[in-house]
Amino acid sequence: MTTSATESDLPVARAAHQIAGASFSDDDAARLTIASAHVAALIDAARLADEKAPRTVPARLKPVEAPVIDAYFTTRRPRKRRLLAAGVFGSVLLAGVGTFFVLAEQKGKELVAADAECRQGATDDDIIADTPAFFDDDQATRLSPTLDFDQMNGSARYARHGGRICYWGRAESDDQDPHASGARIRWSTPDGRWRSCATALAKTERGYVHTPAVATTIGGQPITVQVCLWRDEPRRENCTQEISNGR
């Protein structure tokens, strides 16, 4: 228990007032005694509560670190509910435009044939087959980062033509280690039906090949696009995220 006010607080208070040249009456002493007793009671109650706490409060558990989950991403195929074949490579790279790449191994024919035919539901104005004749790569906006991997070089780009925005992809193989490969652009209407417009790159081709350029609205509907760069052997593909347009 604490010492009473008359034994400790009063002599100190009287001395402090005397040094300060202030009066310290009997009424002041009585008020100090009452206040000191009240404070002492509060201190005793708090100490008692602390002593009882370990018996009434559950012990603290050690903090548990959040689990680390390894996640892998593959190109989404809305009309197929089976897993994509083989393993998935690598990591996701984020860009300012929200682009990330999906690395996946696929069998060549399955890769291109997974979606419906390129122009299904589209007109000639919606999809431009000869992209270099209508668009200048250097004047277009390139999505970053590029689709490059290993010996492959490629990117997704977009530009305006005839009052509409169009997307396309291009692919090239390194001269010192050429590979058969290609680029494709996928597009889907709001109902989730995907089409694929692919352009193969022969091993002997030393320049860029381009996919058709696809407008962001087809048949009056906003579409979602995705541009991919692939290599035949060993099989690998990089794709942008699905890019929604016109909404």
Residues 53-81 have pLDDT tens digits of 444 443 333 333 333 222 222 333 333 33
According to DSSP, the β-strands at 88-89 and 102-104 are antiparallel
Q: Tell which wins on pLDDT, 71 or 161.
A: 161
Q: What are the residues whose beta carbons fall under 8 Å from the beta carbon of 204, sequence distance 6 or more?
A: 178
Query: What is the DSSP-derived secondary structure letter of residue 18?
Result: H
Instruction: Give pLDDT, residue 198.
Output: 96
Separation between Cα atoms, residue 229 and residue 146, nearest integer Å: 10
Confidence of residue 220 (pLDDT cuts 50, 70, 90): confident
Residue 2 has pLDDT above 90, yes or no: no
Of 221, 163, 158, 159, nearest in space to 195 by CA = 221
Helix (H, G, I), strand (E, B) or coil at 207: coil
Instruction: Give pLDDT, residue 216.
Output: 94
How many degrees, rounded to 5, is the angle at CA 75 between CA 228 and CA 78?
120
Separation between Cα atoms, residue 202 and residue 192, nearest integer Å: 31
Highest mean pLDDT (candidates 30-44, 91-105, 148-162): 148-162
Please give the average per-residue pLDDT across 29-37, as a whole number.
Answer: 82
